[in-house]
Structure 1
């Protein structure tokens, strides 16, 4: 018995910048569209840095990651695509010329074309290997910094030495009561410019050091202090803290692509090998954003938008070979006539 409900012209896997712009642009091309996202909300990796300022999106003055997400989502929903969140795609196959996507929920999604817009794959933070640490994740153990204000005036430990860890340290140092950076190596693994910024602040650096254990509060719900161990001297240090931030990076899962019976061609076992038109080696299957690899690829959000437009245009031509090669620009596109009338009424009231 089939457990999918309807057939779509294009199904977009991934709700980050590439996926969201694909949804908008496919609406311009009058395609029946579905977007599937693993996380409970749209926005993709930008949710990792909601308070960071973004300067390099064309024609947009500096805005925060959260503001960019809001605008991308609003644009993506312009033509009312079907949106499915909390759905992990576990397999992708092609039967009788149609793509069959199976989710971890057991639901199947049927589509004439597919756009892979999964970025680096499903992102899962690499967690600290201390027994029982997970119980503190709902209180004061953090793997992502969602709000700087949360740490204002507090004693904070950051564990990690890469660019992300040092970025957060630079942001937090001016507002915390005290800041400790713990790194297992003898030097930080970040850009020199970031290290120079770090040296401007009176913070505590613990190199060649790891977190050995957490000491919890009496009710066992929060971390009260951390025990550090110097890997060279075995000396232990106890630090009273309010919050712990772990910045070890992310694991990236692309299982459904790597194990697909379609034999999707990859580069370095991670990126979809494609063309500048966002085509993969499988007819009807396209890619956009960080997952796509081709000569001349631009790894910026604006590059993801260009990939998305190319992917949608190629999907349209795959379905209707006699259709125009690209959508008419929005300033002259009849799809916006009614919407423009409504906007003008508000502008000139």
Structure 2
């Protein structure tokens, strides 16, 4: 029996694991993916500027820092395990998973983000043949595209971002889009239009040509464009059926996510939300906001288990657990 089980290991889930450790709680992390980090794995080489007090970080760097922080207090980590349902027990909750495991816990923090993301595909029969060579649904390494002819299919914010990012790196960047105008931030779109990126409006990929790798794409069944790398950026199918399959009834927000409070509370006492999984008045959809949500959810979970517990954790600069670690850091800094 754990004090708290956190479902999801994006920024909200990882910070919740750290903060629950600060509060002396027996903690478990569960994620359907094989690695920690959540949705940030969709953009490992994008630069993140809006984490308070931190220099700009690549997505993969932020994952590393958050993961190291999350395991400081040795939570139990369960990966490759999709939670499919939550049921109430006399002493807490039982989480059931797709692989048949059950996890008992006194409280639950849902940090599932927008749900499990599956990239939308082109839908061509030859597509699967190239997913292990030069067909991509996200950009994991900028170096791979250096001095290459790259085609990006899509016209949303993410596609525009990747086009702008790759333009100075690749030999040539093409963007094909089914509409006659892009969607996304105006400044980013203008930057793309002012660059060397070649935009092909009102076009879709109708063929992927090659043997072991894509050598050209067919657009609108007629034009063939020689390329060396292809990025499909059509968005994601979101699977978020955990709440629907659960025995407990958790109220949903009419726009998105779980209906909650700014303190992470849901309609079920003992179940809390953090990050993109929860919505409330004044919600801030930033990574910084996910940290705030995580701390509030943990504090409420702690008081649910121990009503006499203090409202918040002791600040880390005064926390007994860090004294030895601080001495080591001070020694390395020669302070």
Same fold (TM over 0.5): yes
3-state SS in 2 of match to 1:267: coil
Residue aligned with 2:17, SS: helix
Alignment counterpart, residue 282 of structure 2, candidates 291, 296, 306: 296
The partner residue of 1:341 within 307, 327, 333 is 327
2:314 is aligned with 1:328: yes
CA RMSD of aligned residues (A): 1.4
Range 149-158 or range 91-100, more displaced? 91-100
* TM-score scaled by length of structure 2: 0.96
Distance in structure 2 (CA, Å) of the matches to 1:61 and 1:188: 30
> Are 2:217 and 1:226 aligned?
yes
Instruction: Select the residue among 104, 113, 117 that pairs with 2:98.
Output: 104
Residue of structure 2 equivalent to 1:256: 242
The whole-number CA distance in structure 1 between the counterparts of 2:217 and 2:302 is 56
The aligned counterpart of 2:273 is: 287
1:102-251 alignment to 2 at 5 Å? 102-217=96-211, 221-229=212-220, 236-251=222-237
Deviations 1:87-133 (A, max 9, x none): 11111111223211111111111111000001111111111110131
- Structure 1: gaps (5+ residues): 1-6, 230-234
Partner of 1:232: none
Gaps of 5+ in 2: none
Asked whether the 8 Å contact 2:31–2:80 carries over to 1, the reply is yes
- Confirm whether residue 90 of structure 1 aligns to residue 81 of structure 2: no
Deviations 1:207-249 (A, max 9, x none): 11111111112xxx211111101xxxxx710011111100001
1:154–1:177: 8 Å Cα contact kept in structure 2? yes
CA–CA separation in structure 1 for the residues paired with 2:97 and 2:134: 33
**2:138 aligned counterpart, secondary structure:** coil
The number of residue pairs the alignment matches comes to: 335
Structure 1 length normalisation: TM-score? 0.93
CA deviation after TM superposition for structure 1 residue 269, in Å: 6.5
Is the 2:84–2:245 contact (alpha carbons within 8 Å) kept by the matching residues of 1? no
Query: Aligned residue for 1:3?
Result: none
- 2:265·2:300 contact (CA, 8 Å) conserved in 1? yes
Name the structure 2 match of 1:70.
Answer: 64
| CA deviation profile, 1:30-89 (whole Å, cap 9, x unmatched) | 000000111111111112222222221111122221111111111111101011111111
